[in-house]
Amino acid sequence: MFLEKDLSGRPQKGWIEVVCGSMFSGKTEELIRRLNRAKIANQRVEIFKPVIDVRYSVEEVVSHNENAIRSTPVDTASNILLLIGDVDVVGIDEAQFFEPAIVEVCNKLANMGIRVIVAGLDMDFQGNPFGPMPQLASIAEYVTKVHAICMRCGSLANFSHRLSPEEKLVVLGERNEYEPLCRECYNESIK
């Protein structure tokens, strides 16, 4: 297994990486890129996603750019521990949709010497921290925040503005349901 080095130069065996940001920021694209690089390095990789995410595919993680990688849909975070097998790297997409137990699952995986790469929305459509993402970011060794481009002014966007009047927290959608906005345009849109 490929081993990163920690700051002291010793091999680091397991760790957690979080890729977060708004809708259309490239989170899944970055997850797929990292997992494909691990495969190129002959690492054993497993990918999981919540069973509710069927926007593009039931059994693949698919980016908005239509890049895809085979995955296993699971209905609870604990199922990941049951299904991992002998792996070096575990990828988890749309982590905000998992229950809080995903934090413990990621910790267990990292403590087993597995590299864990988690992608998800850091904020919901109301601009609040989303599900377990704040806790995942706080326990991760590496956090990457990616940004979309504001659809109104062209600045960096980190808010996922819902275009429909739907009030439910979880509404799966694409460009016809959400648009990425910068802070100023987001605040203007919710007045």
Residue 169 covered by a domain: no
Number of domains the chain is built from? 1
Which of 19-23, 29-33, 111-115, 165-169 is predicted with the least confidence, judged by mean pLDDT? Answer: 165-169
What percentage of residues in the chain have a pLDDT greater than 70? 83
Rounded alpha-carbon distances, angstroms, from residue 174 to 4, 24, 55, 134, 138: 36, 9, 8, 23, 28
Residue 85 covered by a domain: yes
What pLDDT does residue 55 have? 64
Q: Provide the domain limits for residue 101.
A: 4-147
pLDDT in tens, 95-140: 999 999 999 999 999 999 999 999 999 999 999 999 999 999 999 9
The pLDDT of residue 16 is above 70: yes
Name the average pLDDT for the chain: 88
Catalytic residues: 94
Residue 191 covered by a domain: no
What pLDDT does residue 115 have? 98
Residue 82 covered by a domain: yes
Strand partners, 71: none
CA angle (170, 123, 52) in 5-degree steps: 30
pLDDT higher at 100 or 54: 100
Residue 186 covered by a domain: no
What average pLDDT does this structure show over 133-162? 97
What pLDDT does residue 61 have? 66
What pLDDT does residue 165 have? 82
Q: Report how far residue 29's alpha carbon sits from residue 150's, in angstroms, rounded to the nearest whole number.
A: 18
Instruction: Report the predicted TM-score, pTM, of the whole model to 2 decimal places.
Output: 0.87
Residue 128 covered by a domain: yes
CA angle (56, 18, 92) in 5-degree steps: 40
The pLDDT of residue 145 is above 80: yes
